[in-house]
Chains A and B, each alone.
Chain A
Amino acid sequence: MAPDSDNDWRPTASFATLKLRAQLIARVREFFAKRDVLEVDTPILSQAGATDPHLHSLAARSLAPGDDRLRGFLHTSPEFAMKRLLAAGSGSIYQICKVFRGGESGRRHNPEFTMIEWYRVGFDHHRLMDEVAALVTEALTGFRALDEVEKLSYRDAFLRHARIDPHRASAAEFRACAQTRGVTASGLAPDDLDGWRDLLLTHFVEPHLGVNRLTFLYDYPAAAAALARLRADNPAIAERFELYIDGVELANGFHELADAPEQYRRFEADKNARAQLDLPPVPRDERLLAALAHGLPDCSGVALGFDRLVMLAAGAASIDEVIAFPSARA
């Protein structure tokens, strides 16, 4: 298939980059050791899948004779298992692991990638943003000099770069805004409010974020809350943030939702959205609901794409340059 198919047993990353990878992993472990955050590992293969309609789990099954039932899903993030540890009283924890997302392939995406995920008990999302900035700055020391950290609300970012209010505009207004900038999206329903907002975000806002600096985007619309809690004084706003450098998303964090009935409602909403989109149903994590009912300590958590961090340190244009064997050679 590939023009160099005779050579495709070789790694796509140079050994210099693989050494850089190892060095960054060591820096990350040192960062957490200094702060007394416990390293944990949780199952990659789990009985529950990702319910988010925009995430596609990989299903795994056993080939053992007499054991050919569907066995589970490769996790898209270790979030649920880590929250169960938190509810059981672990205190602040982190994990470096491989996660899997079907259908995500491109210059900055590989279906299997490395994630750094951590949870800080007693932190709100603003305090966690500061810690994320500290980790990234420390990891990139000597590789990349960055300007001062910037925090920008989701609303201000849209006003600045797309000249539209993301909390008030209708789907038609988002669509018109995209069209005046010469972009339409095949396959996107005209009334898909969240879809059109994401189109503006990915096409017109994100490319301007984090120009040679860390830019945190925060206070997302409630519809894009995912697993973030809503602001007590304004339920239209979710306490979620994302980190961008050079227009590339590097991390996604939440002031974590701890309310079991609300979590149940979001699972149900995901289930309905999946049915509407003709996506296969996936079992939700009942043990997460039980853990939340038991009590999740007040905490914030974040997931950071480690491969993209290596890309920044190495000055790489493609994720294939920083992993030994991308999916096409795996």
Chain B
Amino acid sequence: MATYSTNEFRAGLKVMLDGDPASIVENEFVKPGKGQAFNRVKIRNLKTGRVIERTFKSGDTIEAADVVDVEMQYLYNDGQFWHFMQPENYEQVQADSTAVGDNAKWLKEQDTCIVTLWNGSPLAVEPPHTVLLTIVETDPGVRGDTSGGGGKPAKLETGAVVRVPLFVQQGERIKVNTRTGEYISRA
């Protein structure tokens, strides 16, 4: 079993904490002038997303977590699981709603996502920064309005709802920023 010493702690290091995979967010080394040194660590539980603070006696070790980020293609949703495939070896994994979370609304078949795997199972799914999606429902816009101010809600093929300028119509494909949920342009 791989372990890390506190001397190897740095942001992004994946470790096991209380039985869950976790990622170190911040590591602070504190030491009285003479005496015992400690590492005060902010650490994110990768299952719950919660950040907690922990103190380690310096030199202490912690188990490494087998957590990797892999680029995978989104295949389909079977009603319960989202299925992803690694394009190089066609290996497939299925992610549950805990792993996919709110990002489900950005997942379009064949798009490449980053899937965080823990011991081979998906922990989290990150959609591409921008996606191209078709508008399936929006009110007809007012002709001549090109300002983009105001706007109107538009429902996309994946179920996401974004605000679009009034001139954008049902059936059109648009480019959306998945991090902010904002309309970028017509595709």
Q: CB within 8 Å of B: which residues of A? A: 52, 54, 103-109, 183-188, 192, 194-195, 198-199, 201-203, 206, 224, 226, 242, 249, 251-252
Contacts and interface: CB of A to CB of B under 8 A. Distances in A.
Interface residues of B, number: 23
Given A105-B7, A106-B29, A202-B31, A186 B56 contact: yes
Given A103-B37, A226-B34, A186 B29 contact: no
A199 B58 contact: no
Nearest to B36: A198
Given A106-B28, A107-B28, A185 B33 contact: no
A5 to B, nearest CB: 15
B41 to A, nearest CB: 9
B58 A242 contact: no
Contacts of B32: 198, 201-202, 206, 224, 242, 249
Nearest to B35: A198
A108 B62 CA distance: 23
B90 to A, nearest CB: 32
Nearest to A226: B34
Contacts of A105: 7, 29
A315 to B, nearest CB: 19
A185 B34 contact: no
B57 A104 contact: no
Interface string B54-88: 11111111100000000000000000000000000
A203 B36 CA distance: 12
A199 B7 contact: no
The DSSP consensus for interface residues of chain A is mixed
A221 to B, nearest CB: 10
Nearest to B58: A103
Nearest to A277: B59
Closest 4 CB pairs of A and B: A187-B60, A106-B29, A252-B33, A187-B57
A55 to B, nearest CB: 8
Nearest to B56: A186
A13 B119 CA distance: 42
Contact of A185 (B27, B38, B62): B38
A249 B33 contact: yes
A109 B59 contact: no
Nearest to B29: A106
A103 B59 contact: yes
A96 to B, nearest CB: 19
A187 B7 CA distance: 14
B187 interface: no
B40 A199 contact: no
A270 to B, nearest CB: 11
Interface in B15-43: 27-38, 40
B65 to A, nearest CB: 16
27 contacts: A54-B34, A54-B35, A54-B37, A103-B7, A103-B37, A104-B37, A106-B28, A106-B30, A107-B28, A108-B29, A109-B29, A183-B55, A185-B56, A185-B57, A186-B54, A186-B55, A188-B57, A198-B32, A202-B30, A203-B30, A203-B40, A203-B55, A224-B32, A224-B35, A226-B34, A249-B33, A252-B33
